[in-house]
Chain A
Amino acid sequence: MAMTSGARPDSYLGAPYGLAAWLLTKDHKRIAILYLISITIFFAVGGLFAIGVRSELMTPKGDLLSADMYNKLFTLHGVVMIFFFLIPSIPATLGNFLIPIMIGAKDLAFPRINLLSWYIYVVGALVTLVAVFAGGVDTGWTFYTPYSSISSTTAVTWAAVGVFITGFSSILTGLNFIVTVHRMRAPGMTWFRLPLFVWSHYATSLVMILGTPVIAITVLLVAAERSLNLGIFDPARGGDPVLFQHLFWFYSHPAVYIMILPGMGVISELVAAISRKQVFGYAFVAFSSLAIAIIGFLVWGHHLFVSSQSIYAGLVFSIITMLVAVPSAVKTFNWTATMYKGSVTWESPTYFVVGFMGLFVIGGLTGLFLGTIGLDVHLSDTYFVVAHFHYIMVGGAIMAYMGGLHFWWPKMTGRMFNDVWARASAIMIFVGFNLTFFPQFVLGYLGMPRRYHAYPEEFQVLNVLSTAGASILGLAYLLPMVYFTISIFKGAPAPANPWGAKGLEWEVPSPPPTFNFDEEPVVTEPAYNYKPGREVTVG
């Protein structure tokens, strides 16, 4: 297709013009931009809460914040980052924008439901913000009963209802993706020609539709228990608080895969493009996504090793937890095998890919430590856990999100950004991230518990290192906001395929026209059909 540069008059960014046209749009690409703006705001809000937490932890004494205030800050940091940033991050922005184009469709199967899901997200977010201003929430993002249902005097009900509402935006997104992948593929786009990004989003969508309803009813029960004085989790009436933990983690462990699977999809695309090679073992990478989604539903009990769960149940959950590491390892090995003897060039996406691999491997391997029952008794509820899941969620998921954002930014906006600054940002994120969270592994191993605003003096050096790293990390995340914004106004017009990559999205103009394709595309080759010697126009 034509390699024209600059936006066509019928670009999705152009017409129809005006705020109302954007707020009532049914175009998946515009909805992706709406999501991009809203989740960026919530990323910043969640980041502000993190600044509070890390500032307090610079000194051993609780001198900056009261214990209550500290509890509220880490709770809101978790709630906002998980439910309002990480879960929608890649699927609702990159997934929304790219899936229809990648499979050769004009839109998702249900454009109106897609818009509805964004509005539901916004309403859920606003309700949760009410909780912030109505005194905050101090239960931790996990809302454990009976503290959340009986004891806490903070605005738990608002936060729970906010999470309940937002859940439906995630359910509708997953539903839309599943139907789209089944019913909207272009002629010749067979299942095994689908880009791995689509496979991983399909697996993510399965987790979204099967897991999210369970957390919805669970937090609804907590809200109902608080407001209507029901007794379902009330130990005084024979209710079982641990039942809440089972129901909560039945969703919230698979939710980790909602966060990381789309990131794995992004990395699969990027790794093929930067190596100019077919992804090694395509079918294995595709099926490993499904395997993660399925096995991921059977490991929730590893969050309850020390919560009165039977030791036999614990053993089974421990073994299955080891099992879920296998498909993740399959992916990691296949990505490195893809890069092996590939024509790797070093533009910004490459830096994010390599950074992702380093951080994800550390996050994954430390997950095995925690899945081992004996060791978990020692590490449970320490900073080791905090470091582990930040390596997966921030080091893995956000690194992949940033990589994907850089890779597809020219496609989404039609503008090139400054790649030198982007590389600097990737390196800063990698350095800042490791400095923030690696000391926390040591702290946790030495026995520093999570969720306390004060700690013994011997832990101070490691905590100061961590806070210093967090400030580098914060700046590294601000940097892309600056050069991305500049690129919108001053960036060079992007060609249709700046990275020399394969895939239908690179055959349409940048930015794509409203209906994506002038005529229904016909797919005649497998995904990632790279040939030697392709040109890259970024440098």
Chain B
Amino acid sequence: MASHVHTQNAHGAHGEHEHNPNLQHHFYSMDQQLEASTLGMWVFLVTEIMFFGGLFMAYIVYRTMYPDAWMSGSQQLNVPLGAMNTAVLIVSSLTMALAVRAAMVGNRRGQIRNLILTILLGTTFLVVKYFEYKSKFDHHLVPGDHFVAPAGLETMAPQLQIFMSLYFVMTGVHAAHMVVGIVLMSVILFMAWRGRFGPQYYTPVEVSGLYWHFVDIVWIFLFPLLYLLGFHLGGAAH
């Protein structure tokens, strides 16, 4: 059964794609190459889920142990900035999807435009994140020796530090993924500018797009868990 499928692929390869310079030597057809790369990225994303999973596990344990500190900690975060960043990332996922589409139909200008927009939106996210982090330093909300609990919350200072630790690690690891994504997109942009992609070969755009969407989705989970939890547990922020 499987042998028929493969034989057809192999024949197809010799017919259509034999001279495609983008076909690596160890694959028999462009289809096989695209399928392998896509599956590879999906498997990588599974490992990423497990990577963030450890942090979400820690979050769940401490949120259950210290609901009050989690509520108060959440209320220290800047919801409007977080919401704005959420919107920025969702739009960047749209431009990313448009870039993949442009690559599939061979629209070089469309690829370049949408990739630049994606990179700009990703950078906007990081700039906003920088100002959020800076304000946490200014208000002595960074865990460690210089941590000062906000007025009225002195009794839960130790647990607040755990919340802020998780906030910094989770958003920090996410931001590191954004940086990787932006570097990746810059490489893809360069390749697109050179006109490397078209209906015959758009694998790198597609798999980079999967990565970008994944990083967005992680934020979609982080935003409510970290920023909106204060509303959920204790009403509006003060």
Contacts and interface: CB of A to CB of B under 8 A. Distances in A.
The listed residue with most B CB atoms (<10 A of its CB), out of A183, A189, A210, A247, is A183
Given A190-B1, A213-B51, A237-B161, A232 B58 contact: yes
B54 A213 contact: yes
Contacts of B130: none
Contacts of B2: 185, 187-190
Contacts of A189: 2
Contacts of A229: 143-145
* Best-buried of A185, A237, A515 by chain B (most CB within 10 Å): A237
B235 interface: no
A486 interface: no
B84 interface: no
A189 B10 CA distance: 14
Contacts of B54: 213-214, 217-218, 221, 247, 250
Give the bracket for the number of chain B residues in contact with chain A.
35 or more
A184 interface: yes
A188 B32 CA distance: 16
A237 B159 contact: yes
A183 B28 CA distance: 11
A493 B235 CA distance: 79
Contact of A209 (B6, B28, B43): B43
Interface stretch (A86-94, A104-112, A332-340, A461-469): A104-112
B218 to A, nearest CB: 13
Contact of A187 (B6, B51, B162): B6
A98 B103 CA distance: 37
Most B Cβ at <10 Å: residue of A190, A217, A243, A522: A217
B165 A230 contact: yes
Contacts of A405: none
A213 B28 contact: no
Interface stretch (A55-63, A67-75, A171-179): A171-179
Contact of B10 (A171, A187, A210): A187
A238 B66 CA distance: 9
A419 interface: no
A391 B161 CA distance: 44
B36 A216 contact: no
Contacts of A224: 169
Contacts of A176: 40
Contacts of B145: 229
Contact residues on A (Cβ < 8 Å of other chain), bracket: 35 or more
A217 B166 CA distance: 12
Interface string A228-242: 111110101111100
A175 B40 contact: yes
Nearest to A250: B54
A210 B46 contact: yes
Contacts of B78: none
Interface in A154-189: 171, 175-176, 178-179, 182-189
B113 to A, nearest CB: 30
Nearest to B163: A231
Interface string B143-177: 11100000000000011011001101100010000
A510 interface: no
Give the residue among A213, A236, A240 with the most B Cβ atoms within 10 A.
Answer: A213
Contacts of B44: 175
Contact of A230 (B1, B24, B61, B143): B143
A95 interface: no
B22 interface: no
A184 B28 CA distance: 9
Given A187-B6, A243-B58, A243-B61, A182 B39 contact: yes
Contacts of B18: none
A113 B36 CA distance: 13
B35 A183 contact: yes
B219 to A, nearest CB: 17
A169 to B, nearest CB: 13
B57 interface: yes
B47 interface: yes
A515 B166 CA distance: 48
Interface string B10-26: 10000000000000111
A236 B158 contact: yes
A507 to B, nearest CB: 17
Contact of B165 (A213, A217, A232): A232
A214 B40 CA distance: 19
Contacts of A230: 143-144, 161, 165, 168-169
Contacts of B158: 231, 236-238
B65 interface: yes
Nearest to B44: A175
A211 interface: yes
A246 B54 CA distance: 10
Contacts of A210: 46-47, 50
Contacts of A454: none
Contact of A213 (B26, B47, B65, B143): B47
Interface in A301-340: none
Interface in A271-296: none
B53 A238 contact: no
A55 B177 CA distance: 47
B227 to A, nearest CB: 20
A520 interface: yes
A212 interface: yes
Interface string B95-122: 0000000000000000000000000000
B47 A175 contact: yes
Interface in A211-269: 211-214, 216-218, 221, 224-225, 228-232, 234, 236-240, 243, 246-247, 250
B68 to A, nearest CB: 11
A178 B43 contact: yes
Contact of B65 (A113, A211, A212, A240): A240
A105 B159 CA distance: 54
11 contacts: A109-B26, A178-B43, A182-B39, A186-B6, A210-B46, A217-B52, A221-B54, A228-B143, A228-B144, A229-B143, A237-B162
Given A183-B39, A187-B6, A240-B61, 5 more contacts: A107-B25, A190-B2, A210-B47, A231-B161, A232-B169
9 closest residue pairs by CB, A with B: A213-B51, A229-B144, A237-B158, A107-B26, A230-B165, A213-B50, A187-B6, A217-B54, A188-B3
